[in-house]
Structure 1
Amino acid sequence: MRPAYQRPENVLKRTDELIKVGQSASALDFMYDALTSKRLANANAGNTEPVIIKFVELTIEHRRGKQLKEGLTQYRNIVQHKNPESMSKVISVMLATITKHVTAAQQNAERAVGLIGDLEESETPEDMILSSVSGEQTQDRTDRALVTPWLKFLWEAYRNLLDILRNNVRFEALYQQVSNQAIDFCQTYERKTEFRRLCELLRNHLEAIAKYSHQPNSVNLSNGDTMQLFLDTHFHQLNTATAMELWQESYRSIEDIHNLIQKSKRPVKPQAMANYFEKLTRIMYVAKNPLFLAAAWHRYYNYIFRQTKVFSAEQLQEVANNVLLSTLAVPIIKASSSSMGKENKQRTQRFTNLLFLSTAPTRVSLIADLVNSDVLSSVDPALRPLYDLVEEQFHPLSICREISPILSTQIAGSAQDSKYGQLLCNVILTRLVQQLSQVYTAVQLDFIVGLAQFPAPYTMSAAAIERFIMHGARRGEFQLRVDHEARSVEFDTDAFDGAQAGGTNGAQLQASAASLMRTQLSSVAVSLANAQRVACPAYVNEQLARKAEVVANALAAMRSEHRVAVARKLVIDRRKEVVENAVARRELAEARERAIRQQREHEAERQRVAEEQRRRETDRVQRELDAVRRKEALKLAESIREKAGIVVDIDDLDMLDTDKLKVLQREQLEKDKHDMQARLKLLARRADHTERAYRRAELPLLADDYAEQKRADREHHDAARRNVLAATREKHAEDVSLKKRLARVYDDFNVVRQKLDTGRSEAQAVERRRVRELLAQAKEERVAEFRRLLAAKVEAEAEERAKREEAQKAEELASAAKAAKAAELAKLREEMAAQRVKDEELLRLRVEKEREREAGPAKYVPPSRRTGVSASATPPPVPASASATPPPPPAAATAAPSSSKYVPPSRRTRPAQ
């Protein structure tokens, strides 16, 4: 049955009590039960930290890894939301304690081996029997008995910590720190098996991140800082694997780093990439792949070439030497098609991806990159002729003689470059056989052996050379046959052999028969075309015109198709962009909703936990207050019962009247007060009498004490004075002897001093004159500069004044033009107003005429009775503007008497003036 919940303070106190009585195992079990309690999950991290540290120390002391893991898992759940830094402190204490135990175990093992009973006896009979059975020495058995258990416990601690901290964003930095410490542990103690398991464990954790990315506290690899932490850890893993020469783990680490770089959105540091390619060169060398070794060196050189502040010129030259030698050492003989299986192609593709290349490198591309990148300018001058001899100026009869000094002195004498020597010899031998096949049809095998003479330690025997030639012939690189009876080599001169027509990628001495046969038809076609151009010029011109027309039509169709393709591409890109934007918006919205939902859940959980904590804290405070009140009441009742003699029932203390307790307490206080006053009076009287007796007894002794003190002071004074006088006499004697010694060199000192003073005075005079001249020159320059600035200032003020006057004149002209324009506008407005009045008057007259016409025809009046104006008629009003001119005649006077047709005012005739 699990014990009841206890507070962390009480757990720690109980544990200390058990440890003091020698029951550390019981204390560990008690703390384990307390830490695994469900009610401890909501405890305060500050109160729980001392408990977990004590628990860690006890589990380490008893080496209980399972309980340690469970306790740390429980503590991780407690602190991961509120105080994740506390977990780092606990883990630091844990690893430091275990490491201390490992160091102590190593020291004990060394001390145990040093304690040998018989120094003259090299091996005891027991050791001889054990060594014959197991093959182990005394040191190995001692380490296995004392050191290995602690090393195993430390390894289990690292593995358990990585399992506890994995895939948790709150502990990602701590996880990487523990990973680096585990890697250092494997390197320090040379634990290769554990290092392989650690690499596999880290790889599984990295793969599980994508699988459990939906969890609340999962690690997000899209974050740049998180990705950088993982890259740093895996680079450390790569460096350690290379240092321990675990090449398979190095290759797997390289692949892990490559995958992380592909996923990373932040560019990797150039120093890290240089380290990546440097380790890749070592891996490719161990893998014995010369082609990708050279490609890795090329990539490494390209990165460090731009980092001149980090890498020195010597390092750059060393890398350039490796680039040159590894490139030239790539075999010319290609792998046969039968050996290029599916597995080999996959491996080539993987190597190509590790180099961040789109296509697999070839020897031709590496040679071209070597020339284009100007690597030869950084190569050691002693190695530069090697490129010209192998690639540019190759001659089969003298190549071995010319290249022997470089092979024997530069390459064989360097531990770094000697690994390329045999490969270079193979390349030279391959090129030698290829170019001999261009010149000869058959040669003696001894002739080839005589040409292929390499210096030691790269000397090749005749059998090795023959084996190499047969190997190249079997793989199809050489077209030859070996006649062992005549010891000759016959080269294939078939003019229809396509393999010979291809030639080699090196220097060509002369064209082969196959090359000439391959170009024979094209030569005949060129000759016939020239003859046709001379014999039939009209036909040729017609064909050329037709060809030009076809080309023009093709170009026009190509442009049209190009425009259609461009338009289609734009439409596709637009659609793709719209789809990508929609997907991005949807993903962003989903991420936002997911983040909001997680935030709400976290907030609700936080509020629930806070409310639960607040309720528990309130209950705890209330319980503590009740306990304090009861404790005080119990103490008060005990005091009253003991001092006052009043009987108080402690069991029924809660039912006791408070006023009665106060009255009892008051009575007890009064009684204690009176007793205390009486006791103080008695003590004061006794102290007074004792002090008087002491002073009366010491009076006769004061005079004797004073006399003794004066005598001691006199003796001390005399001794101090004697010491001072002796020291003074000794110092005076030393000073006198020093003066006599220095007096002998006083004259020489004066002479030297006089010379120095004379030289210094002359130098000071010269310096004083120089300073005065400089001061005068500076003063003149300062005056000239001041005058120049003053002139410039006056000129600037004059220019500014002129500009101001011009601006004022321009402003006046603008104002005058504006006033004239305003006057013209006012005049135009007046004319428009007068014209508007005239138009209104004409419109009024026209309306009146229309009304009269619509009213009906006028009564007929004979001509003899017609008068100009009817007497009863009222003359029409005359406008003010037309008062000076006579009104126009009425329309009836101008129209025909018999016609009543309406005539517009614009067509009406006016009487002659």
Structure 2
Amino acid sequence: MATFAKPENALKRAEELINVGQKQDALQALHDLITSKRYRAWQKTHEKIMFKYIELCVEMRRGRFAKDGLIQYRIICQQVNVNSLEEVIKYFMDLSTKKAELARSQAQALEEALDVDDLEADKRPEDLMLSYVSGEKGKDRSDRELVTPWFKFLWETYRTVLEILRNNSKLMALYADTAHRAFQFCKQYKRTTEFRRLCEIIRNHLANLNKYRDQRDRPDLTAPESLHFYLDTRFEQLKVATELELWQEAFRSVEDIYGLTSMVKKMPKSSLMAVYYAKLTEIFWISSSHLYHAYAWFKLFLLQKSFNKNLNQKDLQLIASSVLLAALSAPPYDHLKTASHLELEHEKERNLRMYNLIGFNIDTKLETREVLSRSSLLADLVSKGVMTYVTQEVKDLYHILENEFLPLDLASKVQPLLAKISKLGGKLSSASSVPEVQLSHYVPALEKVATLRLLQQVSQVYQTMKVETLSKMVPFFDFPAVERISVDAVKHSFIAMKIDHMKGAIIFGDLGFESDILQDHLSVLAVNLNTSRSMIYPSQPKASKLSAMLPSLADIVDKEHKKLLARKSIIEKRKEEQERHLLEMEREEETKRLKLQKKTEETEQKRLATEFEERKRQRILREMEERTRQEALEFINDVVGKRTKKKGKKPPILEGENVTKQTLMELALQEQVRERQEMEKKMQKLIKTMDHFERAKREEAAPLIEAAFQNRLAEEKDLHEYEQQREVERSRLRHDEDVKEKNRLARVMEHKREFEERVVRRREAEYARLRAEREERLSQVLKARKEERDMKRKMLYYLRTEEERLTRLREEEEAQKRLEAERRKKEEAERRAKLDEIAERQRKREQELEERERLRKEAILRGTPIDAPTKPLSSDLPGSGAAAPAAAAPAAAAAPSESTTGGGKYVPKHRRGGVAAAAAPPAQPDRWGSAKPDDRAAPAPSDRWGSGKQDDRPAPAGDKWRPSFGGGGARPSKFSR
């Protein structure tokens, strides 16, 4: 398999492989290049490579390869060049469509080419054998071989493109266009199954869009452009579904439109709503839901009346008549009067659903008082003024069926009105979105309603009636049909009647059935017996005991009920947790299984495809060789057999492995030459015979032909003279009659000229008046447009200047903010520098104090006298300047003060001067009476290095250190040895 080392040589190498016939290798190499990482980093000729790759995929019908390549190309172009992806996808769809149309045209041309007189001359033996074995016609076989694979590929193309473009905000227009093209494909070729799948695909895309709201390029449905594309796609889906007569899918499309608008809380345009209600009328009429059909017509009437400014009076009258007839066609009784509780709940949900769909109520829910019924619809029609637009026949029919009481004449008065109504209808010229209105559709339903009204009114007047009388009163149906209608009405408690076929009579009234009387006779007997027993044997104590037990029983039942509810909720929660856990495990296992299965299938498909191609190539070669050999054998046997058969010999059969094609061709040529020579001899002999025979026939026929010609000349001469005489007589008679007619009409010529002049003058005056009105109207329109243009120009100038002013203000504010930010930044830097400097000083002071404290503690531990400081501060060290001697005295004076007062207590720096000054008071007598001044502040003798340190070497043995306070009575220090 070929691979491309460098992407720059991809196109050139692919074209070389295609030229030598290795299209499969070229496609595989381009696929490997597109799906590799180096292709993503290469930005020069992406589009050219994709076009060549798409051409190969379409030519070889490899949908999976095309899908993989487009997915990789989408990853590359999604953020940098979406237009390139759009062009590649459009090219992919256009090329697939052209290939499918070309295959279809080729199949049609092949069908026309086979349409000849002599079918046996053009058909091959293989075609005849296929036709007898498979039972297929030539068109079916050509469609299966040529058209069907390309149509499958085109359908796969649409699915691939929709899957790639789904939930992509940048390619919404292309997604909608692809969906429209797929709908037109299903409509053009009547593909109902593919249309259902396409609707399900689009529905799943919207569901996933709502489910995964954290996608990167997810379209915003609240945006007008996105909502327009989604709604336009679903309205096209609704139109195609109705044209294909897929009514269930059309109803699901209606629900999709309602769900989408409910999701975004935004009503569509009035033109789209007109299409919506028009399709709803068709759907409900097909489903025999007359009440919902009438409501849809009513909504469509209100919409057209409110928003269609071009609606003329005739079309409005036709729509109003259709609304009223649709309402009258609904059955006048409730179907759920005798229904069970489950059916009532189901009908309630259905009514809620239909109310939302018909009313397009996207914000509120159905209230209990809002019920879809025939009576409420007729009341709305009267209150909304629909009755003022209907035709007179429809209005009369409404009054007869709903307001008048005519038990005997109702059918006879309704029948002529229905006959007139059935002739009304047609296409609406001023409402293109409304379907063609044919009032004749409502005639069967109206006949049924009229029959029900007649039965209802007759049941209120008569108690019994003969069957023949009722049949004469109902001219629409025969009696079995009336019986079926009456059974349905009795079932829903609309009328009460019974038919006695034995007597041929109809009995009206609530008679009931024997089964209704006997179904509860045992329970009635038990109740009566219980009542009798309680009257004979009253049991007051038991009743009182039971009444005393009832309160506690209610508490017990309530507690048990609460326990059961709590237990049920716990069990439900555990079940949900277990199901959730199992579902997650199943999902993980299914994901792993699908990945493994996909990998195995891809490997197996590649292997099978390779083996299939190789077997196919070998089989085609063998078939070609075998077919050539068989044709030559049949030809030579046929030629030799014909020749030997004429001579009465047995034809030779040439078979076996040693017979070659060259031998067969030589034999065939020899037989053809021999046959041609024999035929030429026969033709020469036959030509001579036919010449003699033809000469003899002409010699005998020449005198007979001459005699017949002379007789024909005489007959035609006599006939010509006779016809000429008759024509002269007829011309004379016509001339006399025309002269009389001219004299008769000459009297009215003056009146004719006067009438003509009067008509011309009236029409000229009318033309002048209409022309003046038109010019006046045009001048007003031009003036209004000029004013509107001036106003718009002023408004645009004002908006432009206001926008420039706001832009200037915004720029000035941004500049001010930048200056303020820079100033704050500078102040913050200065403040931080000062704080860092203060912190550095503080740190140095703390280090010096810690060092001094450490030295003092070391001196105490070594036994050094604490009179003198062990180590001065950094400011007291030698070399610190002239301030060194002055600073040494306070430091030396501070040491005794610290040792005597605080015992090593820390003194802050700002208080050290005061402490040192206070540590040197005038000499005062101590408690022993000694007035010797304190000599602890005296400087220690310098050591040999001149450091001023006190010698901390141990004293000689026997000597005892005494404090330098003076006085012999001083007690020893704790440091004395």
TM-score by length of 2: 0.47
Rounded Cα–Cα distance in structure 2 between residues aligned with 1:270 and 1:73: 39
Residues 660-699 of structure 1, C-alpha deviations (whole Å, 9 max, x = no match)? xxxxxxxxxxxxxxxxxxxxxxxxxxxxxxxxxxxxxxxx
Rounded Cα–Cα distance in structure 1 between residues aligned with 2:199 and 2:45: 37
The structure 1 residue matched to 2:454, chosen from 432, 450, 455, is 432
After TM superposition, the structure 1 = structure 2 runs for residues 321-332 of structure 1, keeping only pairs within 5 Å, are 321-332=321-332
Contact in 1 for aligned 2:291/2:374 (Cα 8 Å): yes
With over 3 angstroms needed to count, the CA separation of the structure-2 counterparts of 1:410 and 1:105, relative to structure 1, is: same
The amino acid of 2:14's aligned partner reads T
Rounded Cα–Cα distance in structure 2 between residues aligned with 1:25 and 1:97: 19
With over 3 angstroms needed to count, the CA separation of the structure-2 counterparts of 1:18 and 1:208, relative to structure 1, is: same
The CA deviation at 1:354 is: 1.2
Residue 476 of structure 1 aligns to a residue whose secondary structure is coil
Residue 299 (structure 1) aligns with: 299
With over 3 angstroms needed to count, the CA separation of the structure-2 counterparts of 1:215 and 1:309, relative to structure 1, is: same
After TM superposition, the structure 1 = structure 2 runs for residues 537-576 of structure 1, keeping only pairs within 5 Å, are none
Rounded Cα–Cα distance in structure 2 between residues aligned with 1:381 and 1:158: 53
The amino acid of 2:461's aligned partner reads V
Moved more, 430-439 or 109-118: 109-118
After TM superposition, the structure 1 = structure 2 runs for residues 699-714 of structure 1, keeping only pairs within 5 Å, are none
The amino acid of 1:484's aligned partner reads H
Rounded Cα–Cα distance in structure 1 between residues aligned with 2:377 and 2:469: 32
The structure 2 residue matched to 1:378, chosen from 380, 389, 395, is 389
Residue 598 (structure 1) aligns with: none
Residue 597 (structure 2) aligns with: none
Contact in 2 for aligned 1:482/1:490 (Cα 8 Å): yes
Rounded Cα–Cα distance in structure 2 between residues aligned with 1:200 and 1:380: 44
Residue 87 (structure 2) aligns with: 89
Rounded Cα–Cα distance in structure 2 between residues aligned with 1:255 and 1:142: 41
After TM superposition, the structure 1 = structure 2 runs for residues 824-863 of structure 1, keeping only pairs within 5 Å, are none
Residue 477 of structure 1 aligns to a residue whose secondary structure is coil
With over 3 angstroms needed to count, the CA separation of the structure-2 counterparts of 1:306 and 1:449, relative to structure 1, is: same
Rounded Cα–Cα distance in structure 2 between residues aligned with 1:330 and 1:300: 18
After TM superposition, the structure 1 = structure 2 runs for residues 896-911 of structure 1, keeping only pairs within 5 Å, are none
1:452 aligns with 2:504: no
The CA deviation at 1:463 is: 1.9
The CA deviation at 1:314 is: 4.5
Residue 387 of structure 1 aligns to a residue whose secondary structure is helix
Aligned-pair identity (%): 37
The CA deviation at 1:188 is: 1.7
The amino acid of 1:217's aligned partner reads D
Rounded Cα–Cα distance in structure 1 between residues aligned with 2:317 and 2:126: 59
After TM superposition, the structure 1 = structure 2 runs for residues 866-877 of structure 1, keeping only pairs within 5 Å, are none
Rounded Cα–Cα distance in structure 1 between residues aligned with 2:510 and 2:347: 33
Residue 30 (structure 1) aligns with: 29
Residue 581 (structure 1) aligns with: none
The amino acid of 1:471's aligned partner reads D
Residue 443 of structure 1 aligns to a residue whose secondary structure is strand
The structure 2 residue matched to 1:101, chosen from 78, 99, 103, is 99
The CA deviation at 1:204 is: 0.7
Rounded Cα–Cα distance in structure 2 between residues aligned with 1:43 and 1:470: 80
Rounded Cα–Cα distance in structure 2 between residues aligned with 1:315 and 1:53: 53
Residue 223 (structure 2) aligns with: 223
1:398 aligns with 2:409: yes
With over 3 angstroms needed to count, the CA separation of the structure-2 counterparts of 1:494 and 1:138, relative to structure 1, is: closer
The structure 2 residue matched to 1:480, chosen from 461, 483, 497, is 497
Residue 81 of structure 1 aligns to a residue whose secondary structure is coil
The amino acid of 1:187's aligned partner reads K
After TM superposition, the structure 1 = structure 2 runs for residues 207-218 of structure 1, keeping only pairs within 5 Å, are 207-218=207-218
Rounded Cα–Cα distance in structure 2 between residues aligned with 1:421 and 1:134: 50
Residue 645 (structure 2) aligns with: none
Rounded Cα–Cα distance in structure 1 between residues aligned with 2:313 and 2:5: 69
1:239 aligns with 2:239: yes
Rounded Cα–Cα distance in structure 2 between residues aligned with 1:422 and 1:335: 19
The CA deviation at 1:353 is: 2.1
Residue 283 (structure 2) aligns with: 283
The CA deviation at 1:132 is: 7.7
The amino acid of 2:185's aligned partner reads F
The amino acid of 2:111's aligned partner reads V
Residue 355 (structure 1) aligns with: 358
The CA deviation at 1:444 is: 2.5
The structure 2 residue matched to 1:112, chosen from 104, 110, 113, is 110
After TM superposition, the structure 1 = structure 2 runs for residues 458-477 of structure 1, keeping only pairs within 5 Å, are 460-477=477-494
Residue 85 of structure 2 aligns to a residue whose secondary structure is helix
With over 3 angstroms needed to count, the CA separation of the structure-2 counterparts of 1:179 and 1:411, relative to structure 1, is: same
Residue 48 (structure 2) aligns with: 50
Rounded Cα–Cα distance in structure 2 between residues aligned with 1:196 and 1:445: 51
Contact in 1 for aligned 2:168/2:219 (Cα 8 Å): yes
The amino acid of 1:348's aligned partner reads N
The amino acid of 1:27's aligned partner reads A
Residues 328-354 of structure 1, C-alpha deviations (whole Å, 9 max, x = no match)? 111113214326354444333322221
Rounded Cα–Cα distance in structure 2 between residues aligned with 1:108 and 1:41: 40
Residue 307 of structure 2 aligns to a residue whose secondary structure is coil
Alignment root-mean-square deviation, CA? 2.7
Residues 863-891 of structure 1, C-alpha deviations (whole Å, 9 max, x = no match)? xxxxxxxxxxxxxxxxxxxxxxxxxxxxx
Unaligned runs of 5+ in 2: 426-436, 513-977
The amino acid of 2:101's aligned partner reads T
Residue 258 (structure 2) aligns with: 258
Contact in 1 for aligned 2:2/2:25 (Cα 8 Å): no
Rounded Cα–Cα distance in structure 2 between residues aligned with 1:464 and 1:308: 43
Contact in 1 for aligned 2:158/2:178 (Cα 8 Å): yes
Contact in 2 for aligned 1:333/1:430 (Cα 8 Å): no
The CA deviation at 1:286 is: 1.2
Rounded Cα–Cα distance in structure 2 between residues aligned with 1:120 and 1:4: 55
Rounded Cα–Cα distance in structure 1 between residues aligned with 2:129 and 2:226: 56
Contact in 2 for aligned 1:412/1:421 (Cα 8 Å): no
Rounded Cα–Cα distance in structure 1 between residues aligned with 2:405 and 2:413: 10
Contact in 2 for aligned 1:396/1:436 (Cα 8 Å): yes
Rounded Cα–Cα distance in structure 2 between residues aligned with 1:98 and 1:298: 45
Residue 45 of structure 2 aligns to a residue whose secondary structure is helix
With over 3 angstroms needed to count, the CA separation of the structure-2 counterparts of 1:486 and 1:200, relative to structure 1, is: same
Residue 367 of structure 1 aligns to a residue whose secondary structure is helix
The CA deviation at 1:267 is: 2.7
Rounded Cα–Cα distance in structure 2 between residues aligned with 1:128 and 1:462: 59
Rounded Cα–Cα distance in structure 2 between residues aligned with 1:298 and 1:57: 53
The amino acid of 1:84's aligned partner reads V
Residue 507 (structure 2) aligns with: 490
Rounded Cα–Cα distance in structure 2 between residues aligned with 1:254 and 1:107: 37
TM-score by length of 1: 0.51
Rounded Cα–Cα distance in structure 2 between residues aligned with 1:376 and 1:238: 31
Residue 186 of structure 1 aligns to a residue whose secondary structure is helix
Unaligned runs of 5+ in 1: 455-459, 496-913
The structure 1 residue matched to 2:349, chosen from 346, 351, 373, is 346
Rounded Cα–Cα distance in structure 2 between residues aligned with 1:420 and 1:394: 22
The amino acid of 2:13's aligned partner reads R
Rounded Cα–Cα distance in structure 2 between residues aligned with 1:142 and 1:193: 22
The amino acid of 2:17's aligned partner reads L
Contact in 2 for aligned 1:396/1:451 (Cα 8 Å): no
Residues 706-755 of structure 1, C-alpha deviations (whole Å, 9 max, x = no match)? xxxxxxxxxxxxxxxxxxxxxxxxxxxxxxxxxxxxxxxxxxxxxxxxxx
The structure 1 residue matched to 2:438, chosen from 411, 416, 421, is 416
Rounded Cα–Cα distance in structure 1 between residues aligned with 2:68 and 2:473: 75
The CA deviation at 1:76 is: 0.5
After TM superposition, the structure 1 = structure 2 runs for residues 715-726 of structure 1, keeping only pairs within 5 Å, are none
Residues 358-386 of structure 1, C-alpha deviations (whole Å, 9 max, x = no match)? 33410101111221222233323443322
The amino acid of 2:266's aligned partner reads R
Residue 756 (structure 1) aligns with: none
Rounded Cα–Cα distance in structure 2 between residues aligned with 1:324 and 1:235: 27
Contact in 1 for aligned 2:10/2:49 (Cα 8 Å): yes
Residues 632-656 of structure 1, C-alpha deviations (whole Å, 9 max, x = no match)? xxxxxxxxxxxxxxxxxxxxxxxxx
The CA deviation at 1:235 is: 0.4
With over 3 angstroms needed to count, the CA separation of the structure-2 counterparts of 1:25 and 1:304, relative to structure 1, is: same
After TM superposition, the structure 1 = structure 2 runs for residues 795-806 of structure 1, keeping only pairs within 5 Å, are none
The amino acid of 1:180's aligned partner reads H
Rounded Cα–Cα distance in structure 2 between residues aligned with 1:133 and 1:4: 49
